[in-house]
A = this chain, B = another copy of it.
Amino acid sequence: MPTFTRFETHDVRFPTSKHLDGSDAMNPDPDYSAAYLIIGTDAEDGLEGHGFAFTIGRGNDVQVAAIQALAGHILGQDVDTVLADMGTTWRLFVDDSQLRWLGPEKGVMNMAISAVVNALWDLKAKRAGLPLWDLLAGLTPEQLVDLVDFRYLTDALTRDEALDILRKAEPGRAARRAELIEKGFPAYTTTPGWLGYADEKLVRLAKEAVQQGYTQIKLKVGGNVEDDVRRMRLAREAVGPDIRIATDANQRWDVADAIEWVKALTPYDPWWIEEPTSPDDVLGHAAIRKGVSPVKVATGEHVQNRIVFKQLLQAGALDVLQIDAARVAGVNENIAILLLAAKFDIPVCPHAGGVGLCELVQHLSMFDFVAVAGTTKDRVIEYVEHLHEHFLEPVLISRGNYVAPQQPGFSAQMVPATLEQFAFPGGAEWLEVPA
């Protein structure tokens, strides 16, 4: 009976602030970082589970400490037992009553749980010899709802309703799996639209995106309204009328500001406004949605857990729901959120980018397509062209689509040299950067 013998964390940081990649109205100088975890066992297969939380620099050490606080629930435990019942395993972390006080179910501790839960799913998928999306999409409806904690959800979604949703999607699974492998899953690109980029760079990258086959791009907004109107106009001129242009304010506004600002952009036909205000403000998003229609409201990358997503849906505050693979408590909580979105018939368009978020979240959208929502209509996964070279199995984009991963696991594994070179503060890359 193999047991868990290794729980190894790494503070990995990339000095991205040097180039203003990833710059937006709230995050002027991020250093994209991962609080990275390797879980090992004494099994003969030698397989490891890899997972991480994404941060943007300072505080990545706090995130590592939070992941370490969960080691006691895993080390020395029986591998088969832990992986066989991932619903119970999830509750082990979330229901630790002492650690729960540090949230509950939010912020640093929830992101830490995400790293551990996702690493365990990576290991489980590797042991099954399947990419994670395919492993999940092969589970029965009963097995899937057993992964979900319905606590605090039952006023919007019960276990029986979730079962119904999954059962209705069951007959079409095989055909959609084949379609996914053939065509991939639609992507959109944020690469042209970072706030720190000059107009010329924006226009050039927007045109390139269209040539590459993307049907949607995204612009960061929220710094200065005149600049935003100009950049939006330039982008619209560059891509023409048929390409969707999403906009993203990264939580910059209060309710009234958001409505006014989006109205100034509306002549250039923005597809959605993303994170117009605080991710905690359910009622604020509902008011903004009313005020900016027909521009859609999107949010979710900073939404802390299924309970807030539930309310965003109950309040009619969203047109587009954006999951993040590493902020809520991992795969299990994201399955709950996908089921909530399906119940309320709201499309899920994941947040990605950062470090490895594209690699992770593609699996969740592909599972959603095959086994939950059953469609890619109005669904796109964010794609950002940064840092993929640090992963063993980087995402593959073809003509504006994510290609379905075929390797076993969660595509979460970084190349070993990166863990050394970008280690903070001792790695070679940081020794060269003046503090």
Contact = CB atoms under 8 A, between A and B. Distances in A.
A251 interface: yes
A118 interface: no
Contacts of A61: 65, 69
- Interface of A, secondary structure class, is loop
Interface stretch (A51-59, A231-239, A332-340, A374-382): A51-59
Contact of A311 (B28, B56, B104, B282): B282
A247 to B, nearest CB: 19
A108 B104 contact: no
Contacts of A281: 152, 307, 310-311
B97 A62 contact: no
Interface in A83-109: 96-109
B155 A256 contact: yes
A111 B108 CA distance: 11
16 contacts: A26-B100, A55-B98, A56-B98, A58-B99, A59-B98, A59-B101, A62-B65, A62-B102, A66-B108, A102-B107, A102-B108, A103-B107, A106-B107, A107-B110, A108-B109, A151-B254
A255 interface: yes
Interface string A27-60: 1111100000000000000000000000111110
Which residue among A27, A108, A311 has the maximum number of chain B CB atoms within 10 Å of its CB?
A108
A305 B287 contact: no
Given A59-B69, A255-B154, A111 B104 contact: no
Interface in A228-254: 251, 254
B56 A280 contact: no
This chain's copy number in the assembly: 2
A130 interface: no
A398 interface: no
Contacts of A26: 97, 100
A312 to B, nearest CB: 10
Contacts of A277: 152
Interface of A: 26-31, 55-59, 61-63, 65-66, 69, 96-111, 151-155, 251, 254-256, 277-284, 287, 302, 304-305, 307-308, 310-311, 314-315
Residue in A98, A256, A311 with the greatest tally of chain B CB atoms within 10 Å: A98
A254 B156 CA distance: 10
Contacts of A254: 151-155
A1 to B, nearest CB: 25
Contacts of A287: 155
Nearest to A354: B101
Contacts of A107: 102-103, 106-110, 304
A106 B303 CA distance: 11
Given A30-B97, A102-B108, 13 more contacts: A29-B98, A55-B101, A57-B98, A58-B69, A62-B109, A106-B107, A106-B280, A152-B281, A152-B284, A155-B256, A155-B284, A280-B307, A280-B311
Nearest to A283: B311
Name the residue in A55, A56, A151, A278 with the highest tally of chain B Cβ atoms < 10 Å from its Cβ: A278
B102 A255 contact: no
A102 B55 contact: yes
